[in-house]
Copies of this chain bind each other. A is one copy, B any other.
Amino acid sequence: MLRLVSSEPGFAAAFDRMVDDRRESDADVARDVAAIIADVRARGDEALAEYSERFDRFAPQSEADWRIAPEACREAFDALTPDLRAALELAAQRITAYHEAQLPQNRDYTDEHGIRLGAIWRGVDGAGLYVPGGRAAYPSSLLMNAIPAKVAGVERLVIATPTPDGEINPLVLAAAHLAGVDEIWRVGGAQAIAALAYGTERIRPVDVITGPGNAWVAEAKRQLYGVVGIDMVAGPSEILVIADAKNNPQWIAADLLSQAEHDPAAQSILITDDAAFADAVAAEVEKEIALLPKAGIARESWDTYGTIIIVDSLDEAPALANRIAAEHIEIATDDPEALFAHVRHAGSAFLGRMTPEAIGDYVAGPNHVLPTGRRARFSSGLSVLDFMKRTSFIAVGGNSLGVVGPAAIELANAEGLTAHARSIEVRLGI
C-alpha cells in the first residue's frame, strides 16, 4: 500500500506516478487475436469448434453442445432459492426503471425558414453480450448488459459464453431467462467475438457487442470496432473513497476491499484529511482482509495498488479526483454535494456515508459497466445509447431552398465541389 501526504515534498511527482501507472496488461495479444479473427471469418463454425476444444477443453458436437436451449434457462431460473430469485427480480426491475428513463427523445421541428429538421433514435437490430466463463461469470453483469439493450428496443439479444470443461453456470442461465435473452452460444474468447461480428454458419452476426472479458476478448472487440459497435475498452476496476474522520473506519475499509477482491490489478484509493483516521482504516483493512474468501486477490491488489492520500483539507480532494478520473468515487462526508460539485471526471458517484459502492453493483439501478483507467475523462457508463443509433433528417419545403441554397452554393464552390453546387443550382434554375 502506498501512503502519500499532500503537504510533503515530492507529493506531486509521486501522485503523478501513481496516476500514470498503467495497470493494464501489455501482453502482446494483438497478433494472436488478429489470426483468430481471420480464421473464424474464413472457416466459421469449424474454427470455433477447434478453438473451444483447445482453450476450453470442450468440443461441441450436438446442437445442445453449441447452444443452450431457452428451457434450460427457465429451469435454472425456477431452481433459484426464493431469496435469490427475489433479489434478481428486484435488481432487474430497478435497472429497467433507471434505463427506461434514459431513453433519448426524437426531434422534429420546422425552423423559421420553413426547413423541417429532426432526428430519430432506433435500437440496433442485434446485440451480442459476452459473458466470461468461470469465476467472472456474474449474473449481475448479464442484467446490466442485457436490460439496456432490451429497453433500447434491440430485437435480437445473443449471448456468447465459454463453458470450460463443459461446465455451465446456472446463475447466468437464470439471469438470461429473466432478461429475455434470445440465444446463448457456448463459445468464448476472441473467437466468440469474431463469430458475433462476422457471423458463422450457425450464428447470425450482430451489430453491437458489449460485455466484459479477458485481454483476448478486449483486444478482439478493439480490433472489430467499426465492423460492429462496441461498448468500451475496459481495464481493471478502481474505487476512490473520499472520507473524513467522522466515518467508521471499518465501513471505509470494507468499501476499499470490495474493489480489491475483484482482481489483483484492481485499485482502491482513500483520500482523507486525518492521518489518524488513515491509520485506523489501514488497520481495519488488515483485519477485514483476513475474513475474505478472496483474501489472496484482495491482498495482492491492496499491497500493489492500494493508496492512501492524506490531505490538509478535503477541499484538495476534487482536483486529485479529477486527475484520477476514477470508475467509482465514494464521498463519505456530511455534505457530499459540496465536493461532488467540483468532480468533473468519474464514472459513477456514491454520495453519503450510507451509500457503499456495492449497492450500485447490484440493485441501485444505474449501470455498473463504467469507464476505467482514467477513461471517465471522455467516456460514460453503459446505457441505452450504446444499443441505439440516430438518423437525422432534413426536409426543405416550399421556397426554403431559395433562402438557404445560395449560401450552400457559395461554400461548395469555395471548396471546389461544383457538383454539390450544381445539385442546388439545377433546382433553383440558376
List residues of chain A with CB under 8 Å of any chain B CB: 83-84, 86-88, 90-91, 94, 97-98, 101-102, 104, 107, 109, 111, 115-117, 119, 122, 124-125, 135, 138-140, 171, 207-208, 222, 225-226, 228-229, 232-233, 248, 250-251, 254-255, 257-258, 260-262, 288, 291-294, 298, 336, 340, 343-367, 371, 375-381, 383, 385, 389-398, 400-401, 404-408, 410-412, 414-424, 426-427
From known contacts A378-B228, A391-B347, A393-B350, infer whether A410 and B87 are also in contact, taking CB-CB under 8 Å.
Answer: yes
**Shortest beta-carbon distance from A27 to chain B in Å:** 15
Considering the complex, give the chain B residue whose CB is closest to the CB of A388.
B380
Q: Are B404 and A359 in contact (CB under 8 A)?
A: yes
Considering the complex, give the chain B residue whose CB is closest to the CB of A112.
B97
Q: Are B394 and A355 in contact (CB under 8 A)?
A: yes
Cα A171 to Cα B423 with chains together (Å): 23
From known contacts A101-B107, A226-B233, A351-B395, infer whether A363 and B411 are also in contact, taking CB-CB under 8 Å.
Answer: yes
Q: Which residues of B are found within 8 Å of A171, using beta-carbon distances?
A: 414-415
Q: Are A418 and B261 in contact (CB under 8 A)?
A: yes
**Shortest beta-carbon distance from A83 to chain B in Å:** 5
Cα A330 to Cα B414 with chains together (Å): 24
User: Which of A91, A343, A355, A420 gathers most chain B CB within 10 Å?
Assistant: A420
Cα A383 to Cα B379 with chains together (Å): 14
From known contacts A248-B426, A364-B117, A378-B207, infer whether A261 and B419 are also in contact, taking CB-CB under 8 Å.
Answer: yes
Q: Are B377 and A294 in contact (CB under 8 A)?
A: no
What are the 7 closest A-B residue pairs judged by CB atoms, nearest first? Answer: A226-B233, A229-B378, A87-B407, A366-B392, A87-B410, A351-B395, A380-B390
Q: Which residues of B are found within 8 Å of A423, using beta-carbon distances?
A: 251, 254-255, 257-258, 356-358
**Shortest beta-carbon distance from A294 to chain B in Å:** 7
User: Which of A138, A361, A406, A410 gathers most chain B CB within 10 Å?
Assistant: A410
From known contacts A395-B351, A419-B254, A426-B251, infer whether A226 and B389 are also in contact, taking CB-CB under 8 Å.
Answer: no
In the complex, 10 of the A-B residue pairs with CB atoms within 8 angstroms, ordered by the A residue number, are: A102-B119, A251-B423, A258-B419, A262-B417, A291-B418, A291-B422, A349-B393, A353-B427, A355-B395, A364-B394
Considering the complex, give the chain B residue whose CB is closest to the CB of A344.
B122
Q: Are B288 and A257 in contact (CB under 8 A)?
A: no
- Beyond the given pairs A354-B396, A354-B427, A363-B411, 8 more chain A to chain B contacts, judged by CB atoms under 8 angstroms and listed by A's residue number, are A258-B420, A258-B422, A294-B418, A350-B393, A360-B394, A363-B404, A364-B394, A380-B390
Q: Are A86 and B248 in contact (CB under 8 A)?
A: no
Q: Are B261 and A359 in contact (CB under 8 A)?
A: no
**Shortest beta-carbon distance from A145 to chain B in Å:** 15
Q: Which residues of B are found within 8 Å of A383, using beta-carbon distances?
A: 390
